[in-house]
Structure 1
Amino acid sequence: MRFAERNGFIKEKTIQLTNIDKTLTNRLYNLVFTRFVKDFDYLSEELEYVVDKLGYKIEVRLQDNWNTVRILLQKVSPDIPWYMPYEIIEIFFEARNVCSSRHDEDPYIYKLWLKNVYAEINDILEQEKSGYRFINNRFVNITSSQELEEISTATHSDYDSVNIHLQKAFLLYADRKCPDYENSIKESISAVEAMCCIITGVRGSQSTLGNTLKKLETKGVVIHTAMKEGFKKLYGYTSDADGIRHGGIDFTKASEEDARYMMVSCSAFINYLIQKNNKK
């Protein structure tokens, strides 16, 4: 808390969920675009991508495209909604992913750069009391650093099938315009199922979470009985006659907290299984 807030000269900031103040906007702008300009000397493609995605005219001069983005970030008007800084930053990172393969970048170096920038962005979001955090190129209303770390680690595992399910779960959850919590939950539990299939080698009709959990010990991955039973019950929650996977009436309106809990829990369990499997 700053001096003025501590001493009551100005009101303490409240959580910014449906607004973003000038200080937060400028700090995000200063960090993200300073880092982009500093660390990459070829931003023409990225800027054109961002300007086009926002529906504005692409200019021939690099500086003109910068000006378009800068105005959208900093100008307040009825035509520029409060969330535009978040929108632009997401599109910028999307552009970097699209364009990075064209520049022969070292994937490890780029991944490390991303992780460092994520951490810096999240520090600012926390300090300025934003109700959002940045992970996997998206701003989401998850503010726990432990939860974010579990999700980030699990979605960047060495197993493509696991990553794909978790990334789908994350995107379905993070879509603020049209979130799909039921399918997010399905994808989260499917990611656990995929991890168990990888460890046990089970395929085909027998490759359900219920079956593969039973077979983990045969592959040297021993987990506590209570934990195993807990995930069997979670699997039942998504798979029984009235469960989400079968479109049961009881779960046609799964809540945000349900989807969030499943995504965090499944990510943590996947990370746990990977560590157990690596130690065996």
Structure 2
Amino acid sequence: MTSSSPPPFSARARGQHRQIDADFPTSARSGLLHLLFDLIERRYLPDWTVVARELHRIGRFSVVEYSSSHVPSLKQATVDAESALESLAWEKLYDFCERLHGHLPQEIGYEDNYGSYIVQVSRGDMQTYIATELQRLFLEEDLAYEFTEGTVRRRGRKHTVEQVAKSQVVLWDSRLLSARKHFDKSLRFFRHPTRPDYENAVKEAVCAVEAAGKALFPMAKASTLGDLVKWLGSTTEISVPKAVCQTLNGVYAFRSGGDGVGHGGANGGKATLEVTEYLLAVCASQIIYFADLANSMEVDVAF
């Protein structure tokens, strides 16, 4: 989910605070413009006409004809690109970042004296460089998104990312197929760059916990997560602290009573960004805990 390179110093020094959501601020637009200048100087992009045309297409601006061999036309393309970067809606700029990575780079090479084509910089290497620089820009600007696998996604806090990654390993047990599907849906709802659905993200995350528990402890004969928690609190086969059972009951209660989350709940509290991210991390931890409990009962769970 995150870049393999460490965050820049400015991001590390800020510490943990609210990330910039539903926006692409002026400073980030300036940073993106600097990246475009860099890419054109490196010849990873042919020239400004390509950039201006793509920005105009994404913004549905008027079509402008440019000539790459005409200096005034190139200058006009540069001006038009800068203007488009300033005026595009924030979500369209994230669209442009994906297009910049996925469609605009062109391989650099030449034909030698023997008629063979020599690749100097491959398209894949260019895309790796662009992805790294976009991710760095997002971190420098404290945006609530990351650029990974060619896609803009909501990134989440470090702890959430780590717990989700660990749970993904556990969820590859063949018996946890249903739980994995629920958790994957939860992440898609949470990570959507322009229309995150926090209520459904919470619902699917808790459904993943329920599905995992029912699959790993069939002897409980539970039909709901609530039934499973009652069994965990009373069985002599394993020992689960009462406080942990209360935590499990807590996420199930929010799943049932949270505003718009499930069962028509309207008085259990709103699924905000902060609440949703907290519950994602908690649900991921609970899935891992269930797997550990199953292992302690000598159930063969793949990690």
Partners of 1:28 and 1:259 in 2: CA distance: 35
Contact 1:135 1:148 in 2 (8 A): no
Partners of 1:92 and 1:128 in 2: CA distance: 19
RMSD between aligned residues = 5.0
Change over 3 Å in CA distance of 1:258–1:15 after alignment to 2: closer
Partners of 2:241 and 2:132 in 1: CA distance: 33
Matched, 1:246 2:263: yes
Contact 2:145 2:152 in 1 (8 A): no
> Normalization by structure 2: what TM-score?
0.53
- Out of 168, 180, 183, the residue aligned to residue 185 of structure 2 is 168
| Structure 1 residue 212 displacement after superposition | 1.8
SS of alignment partner, residue 133 of structure 1: strand
SS of alignment partner, residue 153 of structure 2: strand
- Out of 214, 217, 237, the residue aligned to residue 200 of structure 1 is 217
| 1:234 counterpart letter in structure 2 | V
Change over 3 Å in CA distance of 1:147–1:94 after alignment to 2: farther
| Structure 1 residue 195 displacement after superposition | 0.9
Select the structure of larger CA radius of gyration.
Answer: 2
- Out of 243, 255, 260, the residue aligned to residue 277 of structure 2 is 260
Q: Does 243-252 or 213-222 show the bigger shift?
A: 213-222
> Normalization by structure 1: what TM-score?
0.56
| Structure 1 residue 264 displacement after superposition | 1.9
Which residue is equivalent to 1:232? 249
Contact 2:135 2:147 in 1 (8 A): yes
Partners of 1:243 and 1:25 in 2: CA distance: 41
Matched, 1:21 2:12: no
Change over 3 Å in CA distance of 1:244–1:268 after alignment to 2: same
| 1:211 counterpart letter in structure 2 | D
Change over 3 Å in CA distance of 1:180–1:126 after alignment to 2: closer
Which residue is equivalent to 2:159? 146
Matched, 1:213 2:221: no
Partners of 1:123 and 1:219 in 2: CA distance: 51
Identical aligned residues as a percent = 23
| Structure 1 residue 124 displacement after superposition | 5.3
Change over 3 Å in CA distance of 1:262–1:225 after alignment to 2: same
Relative to its length, the structure with more helix (as a share) is: 1
| Structure 1 residue 238 displacement after superposition | 2.5
Change over 3 Å in CA distance of 1:266–1:138 after alignment to 2: farther
Partners of 1:146 and 1:231 in 2: CA distance: 19
Point out where structure 1 has 5 or more consecutive residues left out of the alignment: 7-13, 38-49, 57-70, 96-116
| Structure 1 residue 197 displacement after superposition | 0.8
Which residue is equivalent to 2:289? 272
Contact 1:196 1:216 in 2 (8 A): no
SS of alignment partner, residue 179 of structure 1: coil
| 2:224 counterpart letter in structure 1 | T
SS of alignment partner, residue 89 of structure 2: coil
| Structure 1 residue 199 displacement after superposition | 0.7
Deviations 1:166-201 (A, max 9, x none): 122222233354433222221111111011011112
Which residue is equivalent to 1:185? 202
Deviations 1:222-262 (A, max 9, x none): 43321122211321232369984210232585323222222
